[in-house]
Amino acid sequence: MGVDDAPDLREALKTVAVALKGSGVPFALMGGYAAWARGGPEPEHDVDFLVAEQDADHVAQFLADQGLDVVQPPEDWLFKVFTGGAMVDVIHGPVGADAERSDVERATTMQVLSVEMPVLEATELVVHKLASLDEHYCDLAAVLPVLRALREQVDWERVERETAGNDFAAAVLFLSRRLGIVEDRSDTDPAARPVAAGR
């Protein structure tokens, strides 16, 4: 998808958000459009919503009952909703872990395209984005503009803690410090300084 698909994606976002509000189940806008709602660049791909794993089957059935085209792909951590020629991912297992209702309920309510909806907080968005990086997907051109746009809203210490096991995330954070996107604490925080070999 490209820039010309943005109107379809926006309409799909609104359509599915309004339907999800009617379900009575906690949900949140996540991914690229959540970052966009918080000041990031507009994505060119699908829209992402988050629901708890325990609510996924109910939500899928509810959306189908509303006349939306719900498809279960081979992956067991999401289902897809097609509306108006655009695709929406409803994710219940981001980055290899089942989402809990408490994860979803940390979202804050915002107006997105004139519709009030819960949107994941910036720190959570950056954690998800960095934790998803691996040898198959590490597109810095897609990651760095989001980090730059959201940097003042992000708890970077939490991001580092929660992505510490991902070498690709660590590399992106290192580069972000070198580029001045993230404050380099190594000069002021002794705990952030690397330990010299042999000590």
Run means of pLDDT, 10 residues per run, the chain, 199 residues: 74 98 97 97 92 98 97 96 95 91 96 98 96 92 96 97 96 96 69 41
For residue 35, the model assigns a pLDDT of: 98
Q: Give the predicted TM-score (pTM) of the model.
A: 0.89
For residue 1, the model assigns a pLDDT of: 44
For residue 4, the model assigns a pLDDT of: 62
| Range list of H helices, 3-80 | 6-23, 31-37, 56-65
Q: Position 32: which residue type?
A: G
φ, ψ of residue 29 in degrees (nearest 5): -70, 135
How far is 51 from 73, CA to CA, in rounded Å? 17
- Assigned CATH class of 1-120: alpha beta
Tokens of 181: 């996107």
For residue 5, the model assigns a pLDDT of: 77
Q: Count the helices and strands in the chain (H runs, E runs).
A: 8, 7
Max Cα–Cα distance, the chain, nearest Å: 65
Cβ pair 177, 189 in contact under 8 A? no
Cβ pair 126, 159 in contact under 8 A? yes
- Please give the DSSP secondary-structure letter assigned to residue 120: -
CATH 3.30.460.40 in the chain, residue ranges: 1-120
